[in-house]
Amino acid sequence: MKNLVIILLAALSLPNILQAQVRYATRNGHVSFLSETPLENIEATNDKATSVLDVSSGAVEVAVLMKAFSFEKALMQEHFNENYVESDKYPKGIFKGQVTGFVADAIGKPGTYPVSVKGDLTIHGVTKPVEANGSIMVEPAGTLKATTKFIVSPDDFDIRIPGLVRDNIAKQINVMVQIDYQKL
């Protein structure tokens, strides 16, 4: 009788254990940023972001190699990596946080779901809290497309802009993220 109770409890808890393992990931997420000033716009894109989303808990991590950002002008890319974010010393930008407003039950229901994202962003060796709204689109094939936008300030991450080019770089940078997840 004791063995039957143990087997029954294990069988009843199995769905909860399996649900706790609903993870999606990518190695080719898209992150871009735009610095808009009257003198010059600076835009960069990176299509090599890696990310894991645990749908059951809402935990999300995104990592971006700083050297993988591509700029229109090679000189901008060089200055970004060598002078501003110091990519050799700080090779990655990392976000660790939580997604709220999306539950595992939505995976079987195609549509677009509004979400909130809250966590810590680390750039240039400095970690700051970030909050943003976004959306997760569930596609009929079972893939997830997550998008969000937020603003960062170079000053918040101890990124020093020389006075000579200070007016060429915005005080607030618009960051856009689009990640197409596949189930692990």
Strands 126-138 and 92-100: unpaired
Amino acid in position 119: G
Per-residue pLDDT at 42: 92
Q: How many residues does the chain have?
A: 184
Structural domain includes residue 167: yes
CATH number at residue 42: 2.40.128.110
Judge if pTM exceeds 0.75: yes
Structural domain includes residue 34: yes
Number of structural domains in the chain: 1
Structural domain includes residue 169: yes
Structural domain includes residue 15: no
As averages over each run of 10 residues, the pLDDT of the chain (184 residues) reads 49 49 93 93 96 96 98 93 95 98 90 97 98 96 94 94 83 97 94
Alpha-carbon torsion (66, 143, 103, 7), positive or negative: negative
Per-residue pLDDT at 12: 52
Measured between alpha carbons, how far is 45 from 32 in angstroms, rounded to an integer? Answer: 4
Structural domain includes residue 92: yes
Structural domain includes residue 136: yes
Per-residue pLDDT at 2: 56
Structural domain includes residue 17: no
Structural domain includes residue 5: no
Residue 51 belongs to what domain range? 23-183
